[in-house]
Amino acid sequence: MIAIACDHGGLELKRVLCRWMDGKNIRYEDLGTDSTASVDYPVFAHRLAAGVAGGTWEKGVLVCGTGLGMSMAANRHRGIRAAVCTDPYTAEMARRHNEANVLCMGGRMVGPMMAERILETFLLAEFEGDRHSRRIALIETDVKD
């Protein structure tokens, strides 16, 4: 099961992605926001990231205006690897090499068809493990400050 959330800047694209998942019978939980009223994206990013880090959801999708603020907030959580993707190749590599568990997209950046392809790729691509596992461990452990 995956979780999806957005702020006002990502609402329209989140609705597109939810419709796409409905059509594919992909199960997800929608954590909001549900209106165009201005909200603070970190609230939604932290809620989703905490759930993914804690095992409630296997993966997450965050949509704001650019995807950037959502990724910055989500990546503060241990075990979360949130990747902003604007094309399917990046989404594929985010999974295969970086084992990204949160996909971030910008509702003001990518069109609906591209976003659907990005999400599909993110959900299908598998982590390759091997040397990439060592590098991912270093992301968590090799912080010097």
Active-site positions read 64, 97
Q: Contact with ligand RB5 (CB under 6 A): which of 21, 65, 103, 119?
A: 65
Work out whether 66 is an interface residue with ligand RB5 (CB under 6 A).
yes
Contact 20, 121 (CB under 8 A): no
Closest to 101 in 3D by CA, of 50, 60, 67: 60
Within positions 20 to 39, which residues make up the interface with ligand RB5, using CB under 6 A?
none
Q: Contact with ligand RB5 (CB under 6 A): which of 33, 69, 85, 94?
A: 69
> Where do the DSSP E strands lie in 7-145?
28-30, 59-64, 82-84, 102-106
Work out whether 7 is an interface residue with ligand RB5 (CB under 6 A).
yes
Pick between residue 62 and residue 136 the one whose CB is nearest to ligand RB5: 62
Contact 5, 60 (CB under 8 A): yes
Output the six-digit token pair for 110.
């990518």
Strand, coil or helix: 9? helix
Output the six-digit token pair for 39.
């909200």
Work out whether 41 is an interface residue with ligand RB5 (CB under 6 A).
yes
Looking up tokens 């650019």, which residue turns up?
66
Q: Contact with ligand RB5 (CB under 6 A): which of 5, 9, 52, 62?
A: 9
Smallest distance from ligand RB5 to CB 142, Å: 27
**Per-residue contact flags (x/-) with ligand RB5 for residues 103 to 122, judged by CB under 6 A:** --------------------
Q: Which range, of 24-32, 45-53, 64-72, 79-87, touches ligand RB5 by CB under 6 A?
A: 64-72
Cα separation, 105 vs 81, in Å, equals 14
- With b for 16 or more beta-carbon neighbours within 10 A and e for fewer, the 93-102 pattern comes to bbbeebbbbb
- Residues forming contacts to ligand RB5 in the complex (CB under 6 A) are 7, 9, 41, 64-66, 68-69
